[in-house]
Amino acid sequence: MNPLKRWRWWAVLALPVAVIAINSFGPDGWREPVVKLLWLSWTALCVALAHSARKALFDYAHGREAWLKAMQHPVGAGLAFLGLCLVSAVLVLAFTGFARAQPVPQPAQAMAPLVVHEIEQHWPAAPRRSYLGALIEKETCITLAHRSCWSTTARLKTSREEGAGLGQLTRAWRPDGTLRFDALEEARAMAPQALRELNWANVYTRADLGVRAIIVKLRDCHSRFERLGIDDEMARLAFCDAAYNGGLGGVQQDRKLCALTDGCDPAQWFGHVEHHSAKSRTPWQGYGASAFEINRAHVRATVPLEPRRWRYAQWLGV
């Protein structure tokens, strides 16, 4: 029988692939039910992969024939059929486990109510709330099991800079020891009342203030790009992530460079501004990547639903 005429192939392969493909474009307005549908589609696709793998491993074994003979009560055929079912079940579990990857870290689960509360208090209209979880993971988690993952004590310290807390708020010094910039003070200036208690003495202990500082910085950035006419939420999110990692001035420079390039739309990140930058492409000593590569990799790791945001959709919202 032609496989395309059988409903199971459409149900476990074609339909899930279509849903996953549509999801990759990231349309606006998606909420938790769509995330659940996405994972249902991945599970169905895993069933199809498992079935194909079983057929490849046991091309000489025909489940339909074993089933028909089992109906005639021969013990051997029945056991063979059960064996095929067991192999299929193991393959489904293997593929599903691979697709779902790693779960949300325990510290993130414990902190999720605090994050949701801070969002509701300081930016209830925040788009793509799961991004906040992806950002904190990217900033603090060397691995999902590392002690600094989702910890206020996460710290990056060198002779020239210090990154602190959940958002890795950074201050840096010039070679002569004078302060070059202080992201914590910049955040305080954006919301003096909300962040009046935040300082370098408590940045490693106050999770609420650390989360709030991230929200304030992102809220300010989104407002700036809205005033510039960037209406696409995903584009704004990408621009603001690039700014969070590499500075707002650098993003504006990159947009200007894009505008001077034929076919490049300075209002779009993906496929446009992401490919144009004045940032150095020479690998930094000790990092193994250039400023340009680090900045673009940061956006790819946090803004799309994969590989991180999906983990936090059920805890923070899509």
Classified as helix, coil or strand, 118 is helix
Q: Bigger pLDDT: 311 or 102?
A: 311
| Mean per-residue pLDDT, 4-27 | 64
Classified as helix, coil or strand, 163 is strand
- pLDDT at position 50 over 70: yes
| Mean per-residue pLDDT, 97-112 | 76
Amino acid present at 83: G
**Torsion angle of alpha carbons 69, 74, 80, 82, nearest 10°?**
90
* Rounded Cα gap, residues 105 and 133, in angstroms: 11
* Rounded Cα gap, residues 80 and 88, in angstroms: 13
Classified as helix, coil or strand, 32 is helix
Q: Bigger pLDDT: 17 or 248?
A: 248
Tokens 């996953």 found at:
20
Query: pTM of the prediction?
Result: 0.72
pLDDT of res. 113: 96
pLDDT in tens, 219-230: 999 999 999 999
Quick one: what percent of the chain has pLDDT higher than 90?
59
CB 108 within 8 A of CB 312: yes
Quick one: what percent of the chain has pLDDT higher than 70?
74
Tokens 């840096």 found at:
172
pLDDT of res. 31: 46
- pLDDT at position 130 over 90: yes
Show the domains of the chain with their CATH numbers.
Answer: 3-100 (no CATH), 106-316 (1.10.530.10)
Q: Bigger pLDDT: 184 or 83?
A: 184
Going by pLDDT thresholds of 50, 70 and 90, the confidence category of residue 30 is: very low
- pLDDT at position 125 over 90: yes
* Rounded Cα gap, residues 171 and 154, in angstroms: 15
pLDDT in tens, 269-316: 999 999 999 999 988 766 678 999 999 999 999 999 888 998 899 899
| Region of poorest pLDDT, from 114-118, 195-199, 298-302, 309-313 | 309-313
Among candidate residues 197, 192, 231, 237, the one with its CA nearest the CA of residue 218: 237
| Mean per-residue pLDDT, 158-182 | 94
- pLDDT at position 257 over 90: yes
Q: Which helix (H) or strand (E) holds 185?
A: helix 183-190
Evaluated on CA atoms 291, 296, 300, 304, the torsion sign reads: positive
- pLDDT at position 47 over 90: no
